[in-house]
Amino acid sequence: MTVVVHTRAELAQALGGLPDVRLVPTMGALHAGHVALIDAAGPGAVVSVFVNPLQFGAGEDLDRYPRTLDADVELCRSHGAAVVWAPSVADMYVGGRPVVTVSAGELGARYEGASRPGHFDGMLTVVAKLFGATRADIAYFGQKDAQQLALVRRMVTDLDLTTRVEEVPTVREPDGLALSSRNRYLTPDERTAGLALSRALRAGTIEAARAVLADADGLDVDYCELVDPDTFEPVAGPPGRIIVAARVGATRLLDNELTTSLCSPRERSSKNVPVPALV
């Protein structure tokens, strides 16, 4: 049975009967990508549902962000979660905005951090609080938000946290679009335009990816770069992670893919090297 709790006292009581704490941090509006995280955690998962105001900047969509707690709880229940923790802002940040926060440093100032100043500081602050409040043994994060994942791992290392971070592969729609809670904002035409991101990643090289995006209509591309997966420093060639961000209408989309070969898709075919598959 899934227990829904809101306060720290209720959380402590609910966690008391668990042999370990396998945490899935979310901001709600759960979809199949979150389901993959819950399933990876296995029966008895603890799912947090909290729309964190610290990671939204001026003019961003905090008020517009979807809040679907009843549906989220039903989805968690159907996948065997033990606890859903849905705290209020007042319960998460007792006394108001915290005085002491986590800084994402130089790694958090690149790419998404440059486009959304302060976003990663707010994300790391709430993740640190989630780890502390739940005493999580393991926490599960999606590959889709690759820079976030790299920062959480770095925080765990740098601050000697005991929570183990597990990466779960990106979940995609049948047409290739990476699942995101913000996909619901897309019109049919915008959704079609957004498919250029996954097409670019399938092109296999950073040059080919940029060419796909340059030819796409309806995209305002922020960046398309090849980076080291851990540091997010630019690299000249594989191995690396191609990261891309673009605005489609009013919605910002992210995607990424590991790449290990410099050869083009045609060269891959001639060498029997598989093009990365969508999963």
Distance separating alpha carbons of residues 124 and 155, to the nearest angstrom: 8
**Tens digits of per-residue pLDDT, 184-241?**
899 999 999 999 999 999 998 999 999 999 999 999 999 999 999 999 999 998 889 9
Tokens 């990643």 belong to 201
The average confidence (pLDDT) of the chain is 91
Instruction: Tell me what pLDDT residue 238 has.
Output: 84
Alpha-carbon distance 65 to 223, whole Å?
A: 24
- Amino acid 261: pLDDT: 54
Q: Which CATH superfamily is domain 3-168 in?
A: HUPs (3.40.50.620)
Q: Is residue 6 annotated as part of the catalytic site, yes or no?
A: no
Return the domain boundaries, the chain. 3-168, 181-260
List the Cα angle 224/239/231 in 5-degree steps.
65
| pLDDT surpasses 60 at 96 | yes
Give pLDDT tens digits for 97-107: 999 999 999 99
Q: Which two tokens stand for residue 201?
A: 């990643």
Residue 278 has pLDDT above 80, yes or no: no
| pLDDT per position as a tens digit, 259-268 | 875 443 333 3
CATH topology of domain 181-260: Pantoate--beta-alanine Ligase; Chain: A,domain 2 (3.30.1300)
Q: Which candidate in 31, 34, 79, 119 is catalytic?
A: 34
Q: Report pTM.
A: 0.90
Residue 253 pLDDT > 90, yes or no?
Answer: yes
Q: How many CA atoms lie within 13 A of 245 on its CB side?
A: 15
- What is the rounded distance in angstroms from the CA atom of residue 140 to the CA atom of residue 27? 13
Domains 3-168 and 181-260 agree in fold: no
